[in-house]
Amino acid sequence: MGDPVLKPLLIVLIDGFADWETPLIAGIGGDFYGLNARYVTPGGGDLTSIGGLRVAGLPDFLPRGDEVIVLCGSDGWCRADAPDLSVPLREAHDNGQTVAAICAATLSLARAGLLEGRAHTSNGLDFLKYHLPDYSAQQTYRDLPHAVADGGIVTAPGTAPVTFAGEVFRAAGLSQDKLAQFRQIATAEHRA
């Protein structure tokens, strides 16, 4: 029995994006599981990753309404001039889309008010409070080394790209069997 129709993935990058945080999502998700992923950046254009990978001609961040939105981490999310995606992220979530963020991209979800009342994690509670002095969701913060999903919001520290990918796959509609297979593939070296 196959998977139901899988939701597409919209992976949002900004300059200085963390190379290691989303490639499992597009690579394994696309090649092994047939997930459709597209990359975008607010305003469109060219980017360079934290590791020096140059990406040219990315389209603007324009959600279509059916995707799982995935925000890749970058130190750029920590800056005062970070892209403000609050309105489209809230609208997408209000319309039933899952919104996922890893590492510093969790700041974007906090700025949008999407962490309020939901279990979530990040690079640490002190990290959130340092970068967002008005952060007020401490009651539902979880100091965990893996991704957390609650109410259509997925968060993860930058050190958890495997569990982050798994939760994004779950939100896209991947079956339990395939999620278990992904965990086996992605963690095989740690079981040796």
Q: Residue 161's domain spans which residues?
A: 9-191
Amino acid found at 36? N
Predicted pLDDT at 83: 97
DSSP per-residue letters across 37-89: EEEE-TT-EEEE-TT--EEEEEPP----SSSEEEEPPBGGGGSTT----HHHH
In tens, the pLDDT along 127-174 reads 999 999 999 999 999 999 999 999 999 999 999 999 999 999 999 999
Q: Is there a domain that residue 3 lies in?
A: no
Q: Is there a domain that residue 169 lies in?
A: yes
For 6-31, b/e burial (b = at least 16 CB within 10 A) is: bbebbbbbbbbbbebbbebbbebbee
pLDDT over threshold 70, residue 2 = no
Q: Is there a domain that residue 1 lies in?
A: no
Whether the model clears a pTM of 0.85, i.e. scores above it, the answer is yes
Predicted pLDDT at 191: 78
CATH number for the domain that contains residue 130:
3.40.50.880
In tens, the pLDDT along 40-64 reads 999 999 999 999 999 999 999 999 9
Q: Is there a domain that residue 109 lies in?
A: yes
Q: Is there a domain that residue 29 lies in?
A: yes
- Domain total of the chain: 1
pLDDT over threshold 60, residue 3 = no
